[in-house]
Amino acid sequence: MGRLDTTDEVRSASHDLADRAVDAGLRAVDSLDRAVSSAQDTGQRLAAQTSELSDNLQKVAKNFSKAIDKSVAEQPMTTLGMAVAAGFILGAIWKS
């Protein structure tokens, strides 16, 4: 009878071990699913923010272009002076 008891104990232990391995695998899959979902959400939010930033930059560029055009038309000498000053500053920064 001792041999049957030992065989049953080994069989029971192996089933317990298999059950634990399956549970651990399922938990790992759940964790991976949550991580993937979180990464997808983050990617979607980043894409939306990037699109919004692009739209805002286009608006700023358009407004800046209009302001430059208006300045050139209304005050050409002042605009030229500012362009020369900006070029001088950028040149000084470039050299350093």
The tens digit of pLDDT for each residue in 38-53 reads 999 999 999 999 999 9
The domain in which residue 60 lies consists of: 2-95
Would the pLDDT of 2 be above 80? Answer: no
Domain count, the chain: 1
Q: What is the mean pLDDT of residues 17-28?
A: 92
Please provide the size of the chain in residues: 96
Position 4 scores a pLDDT of: 61
Tell me how crowded residue 79 is: count the other CB atoms within 10 A of its CB.
16
At a CB cut-off of 8 Å and minimum separation 6, what does 71 contact? 78, 79, 82
Position 73 scores a pLDDT of: 93
Would the pLDDT of 61 be above 90? Answer: yes
Position 39 scores a pLDDT of: 96
- Is the pTM of the predicted complex or chain greater than 0.85? no
